[in-house]
Amino acid sequence: MSTASSENPRTAQLAVSGMTCASCVARVEKVLKRVPGVESVAVNLATEKATVHANGAVTDDQLVAAIAKAGYEAAPILPEAAPAAAPAAFDREFAAVFAAAVLTVPLLAPMFGLALNPWLQLVLASVVQFGFGARFYVGGYRAVRAFAGNMDLLVALGTSAAWGLSVYQMFAHGGMTEHLFFEASAVVITLVRFGKWLEARAKRQTTDAIRALNALRPDKARVRDRDDPARERDVALADVRVGDIAIVRPGERVPVDGIVREGRTHIDESLITGESLPVAKEPGARATGGSINGEGVIAIETTAIGAETTLARIIRLVESAQAEKAPIQRLVDRVSAVFVPAILAIALVTLAGWLLHGAGAETALLDAVAVLVIACPCALGLATPTAIMAGTGVAARQGILIKDAQALEQAHAIRIVAFDKTGTLTVGRPSLVAFDAAPGQDRAEALGLAAAVQRMSEHPLAKAVVAAANDAPRFEASAARAVAGRGVEAKVGARRVAIGSARWVAELGAGVPASLEARARELEAQGNTISWLIDLDGAVLALLAFGDTMKPTARAAVERLASMGVKSALVTGDNEGSARSVARALGIPSDLVFAQTLPDDKARVVAQLKASAGGIVAMAGDGINDAPALAAADIGIAMASGTDVAIEAAGLTLMRGDPALVADAIDISRRTYRKIRQNLFWAFVYNLIGIPLAAFGLLDPMFAGAAMAFSSVSVVTNALLLRTWRAQAGAVEEARAGKPITRPA
């Protein structure tokens, strides 16, 4: 082995399967760090991926073997590989949950005074316990082998105790006893497996964000032949090299990062800047892979390929931000490491104590098992999932989709919401915000001339002009043509009229009236885009200002968040003037305004806010460029009107695209978290009271089972109270529509 090979650093990525909780992550990291030559390890539970930094002597086979010894499966991930599609096992898991529920329902009959043959109960419960509950035994075994405790171990022990007690009583009484507890074990297995299915769904959706980003990469690029520049050929994107000239036609996605060498066009770069307006490109301008070309054919000299492109960096930012998110450590998981051995110890002490006291073996065993039955984590297992199911269900009905329990639990502690501007607080479509005619010009006539010039164009700004000219006189234009980098001109009757940039005005030598110059500076300071209506004989006819309009509920959303103790920040790729103008209109403090931020800048801003907030930081956005920030934030909030990438990277999705729903999402999270804490409190109270009673022989196993069932009913009933919640945003809409508002007290 050479020194160079052993000292040359490398990064390996492995797909790891079989992990179910944070303790699994810790064990995988532990065994990988033991491999000689490994310097650091980061295991991501959401993406089921391990990133290992090691020297060149460490092979993938060594890493895979180490993970296998810990009881998990692993395989190397090839560079640039997109995440695999969701496996069919996900659907089989739901089928298993449904089948377990079907077998469990008959076991509830005795609780309602209905008779059910004990042997049938044994068969049904055994299938659920050892068939559908096998995974908990495997997880519990792994925890014991690692000298740790987890929820799998708690479920396996508790359900086994209830099942074992029922089997004992059946055979002790010749199968004639009525006091069986098979339903306890089956219900816990079914509900906890349902929770595991929800977790699997969340992990699958998390990887969809990366998959959606990868989908933006074109498969091929049209490049000029290196030996014969007059010839063009289609090649795989992986075969493009730095220096190659890529030809991009109208409507095509730019395949590479590079510099425009030939042609003029407009490119939609909302992918990178978040700016809703297409950007003019001419020779010397930079183009970004993944953006969409507009109306012209351009030739781009490739400057970055593969992992070095802007899009690839965005993908890495999303992956990195997701890897840094620590999974929620539920209260049940925190106490399970102590709770499980404590209950075992109490049960053993109870058994030994009664035997030493002279009681019979049956009495001692029943009292010891009663301790395990009353401690069976039925209420503990139901406390969190029932509240989460009720909270997510009512939220969905009000237009708030919550991706996973982690997002719901975290959102209650949000202290700052960082809003993207375009498409989140604003409509996201350019509109004509000002049209000022020059002195001596008729405004309506000038607006009609502008609409005539723009009527045949599909450019977003042209559509805005036409939409604003509904009541203006209608003129017909002919011989319309685009002048690259300057604007568009046409003949309207006998006049030659154009709409163009200030540069074109200067080239034509057209004088701009002082009043319009002052007005243009004022509008530009507010972040608007300025164009001019020009008579090509040399006169300026009017000023046009394009901007984005505020969503009607944006200010109310910021004000309500403030009343809830949540600060609002503005993080946008738009210019300083536009950002400050929007912030003033909404009441956002100037020290929480961050303008001209690219995707990596947005992620850094979110990191700064997290360091200073003293609580959870949320990011609300709708564009691809927001994906890294959405992932870097503790909670990502996406507008359903935005891109799929933003939605997949976020924990919460607002289906109506209404910023007022952000406050509602926090409100339902707070109420749900309150229910979780209440449920856990009562679950622990039952244990704190019931376990001593059982240990001292004051609680018959039958009453222990009844108490356990009552504790389950109480936490479920408490959780169902969430179904009365209603979003205020929806109530406001109803009030505007003239509908009566009904709200529970």
pLDDT: which is higher, 259 or 642: 259
Same domain, 197 and 237: no
Burial class (CB in 10 A: 0-12, 13-18, 19+), 298: buried
**Cβ-Cβ contacts under 8 Å for 226 (sequence gap 6 or more):** 244
Q: Is the pLDDT of residue 450 over 90?
A: yes
Query: What does the H/E/C string look like for 303-340?
Result: EECHHHCHHHHHHHHHHHHHHHCCCCCCHHHHHHHHHH
pLDDT: which is higher, 172 or 55: 55
Same domain, 410 and 447: no
pLDDT, tens only, 489-534 = 899 988 899 998 888 888 888 888 889 999 988 887 777 778 899 9
Q: Is the pLDDT of residue 51 over 60?
A: yes
Q: Of 37, 91, 89, 95, which Cα lies nearest the Cα of 62?
A: 37
Q: Is residue 421 part of a domain?
A: yes
Residue 432's domain is classified under what CATH number? 3.40.1110.10
Q: Is the pLDDT of residue 731 over 60?
A: no
Average the pLDDT over 246-253 and give the result: 91
Name the domain boundary from 206, 232, 247: 206
CA dist., res. 467 & res. 474, Å (int): 12
Element (H, E) at 75: strand 73-76
Same domain, 183 and 240: no
What is the structure's pLDDT at 321? 40
Residue 278's domain is classified under what CATH number? 2.70.150.10
Q: How far is CA 183 from CA 100, 107, 473, 710, in A?
A: 12, 5, 78, 13
Residue-averaged pLDDT of the chain: 78
What is the structure's pLDDT at 244? 93
Element (H, E) at 231: none
> In the numeric block, which tokens belong to residue 503?
């540069």
Using 50, 70 and 90 to split pLDDT, how confident is the model at 701? low
**By the 8 A CB rule, do 267 and 255 touch?**
no
> In the numeric block, which tokens belong to residue 603?
């992620």
**Cβ-Cβ contacts under 8 Å for 227 (sequence gap 6 or more):** none
Q: Is residue 745 part of a domain?
A: no
Q: Going by DSSP bridges, is the β-strand pair 495-500/529-535 parallel, antiparallel, or unpaired?
A: antiparallel
* Most confident of the ranges 117-126, 132-141, 208-217: 117-126
Average the pLDDT over 428-439 and give the result: 87
What is the structure's pLDDT at 21? 56
Name the domain boundary from 646, 664, 682: 664
Using 50, 70 and 90 to split pLDDT, how confident is the model at 274? very low
pLDDT, tens only, 584-609 = 889 999 899 998 787 778 888 988 89
Residue 647's domain is classified under what CATH number? 3.40.50.1000
Q: Is residue 673 part of a domain?
A: no
According to DSSP, the residues that pair with 279 across neighbouring strands are 267
Average the pLDDT over 267-283 and give the result: 70
Average the pLDDT over 121-139 and give the result: 91
Same domain, 418 and 442: no
Catalytic residue list contains 239: no
Residue 67's domain is classified under what CATH number? 3.30.70.100
DSSP string, 233-292: EEEEGGG--TT-EEEE-TTPBP-SEEEEEE--EEEE-HHHH--SS-EEE-TT-EE-TT-E
Same domain, 113 and 185: yes
The torsion region of residue 268 among left (phi > 0), alpha (psi -120 to 50) and beta comes to beta
Average the pLDDT over 667-692 and give the result: 85
Sheet holding 38-44, edge to edge: 38-44, 49-55, 9-17, 73-76
Distance of CA 56 to the CA centre of its chain: 35
CA dist., res. 707 & res. 687, Å (int): 10
Q: Is residue 43 part of a domain?
A: yes
pLDDT, tens only, 384-397 = 767 777 787 777 76
367, 420, 436, 664: which is the annotated catalytic residue? 420
Q: Is the pLDDT of residue 210 over 60?
A: no
What is the structure's pLDDT at 211? 64
pLDDT, tens only, 93-109 = 889 889 998 998 898 88
Element (H, E) at 23: helix 22-33
Q: Is the pLDDT of residue 740 over 70?
A: no
Give the single-character DSSP code of 473: P
Same domain, 161 and 295: no
According to DSSP, the residues that pair with 431 across neighbouring strands are 547
Same domain, 228 and 183: no
Same domain, 409 and 558: yes
pLDDT, tens only, 614-653 = 778 999 887 666 778 888 888 888 876 554 555 566 678 7
Range of the domain at 64: 3-76
Q: Is the pLDDT of residue 4 over 70?
A: no
Same domain, 151 and 237: no
Residue type, 213: L
Q: Of 550, 279, 281, which Cα lies nearest the Cα of 421?
A: 550
Angle between helices 660-695 and 361-374 (to 10 degrees): 170
pLDDT: which is higher, 676 or 242: 242
Residue 132: strand, helix, or coil: helix
Q: Is residue 689 part of a domain?
A: no
Domain count, the chain: 5
Q: Is residue 356 part of a domain?
A: no
What is the structure's pLDDT at 434? 92
Q: Is the pLDDT of residue 666 over 90?
A: yes
pLDDT: which is higher, 475 or 737: 475
What is the structure's pLDDT at 735? 40
Same domain, 437 and 419: no
Q: Is residue 647 part of a domain?
A: yes
Triad 81, 66, 327: Cα angle to 5°: 65
Same domain, 140 and 274: no
> In the numeric block, which tokens belong to residue 509?
């030598």
CA dist., res. 429 & res. 551, Å (int): 11
DSSP string, 710-740: HHHHHHHHHHHGGGG---HHHHHHHHHTTPP
Name the domain boundary from 14, 42, 76: 76
Q: Is residue 526 part of a domain?
A: yes
**By the 8 A CB rule, do 694 and 367 touch?**
yes
Same domain, 191 and 226: no
Average the pLDDT over 158-180 and give the result: 74
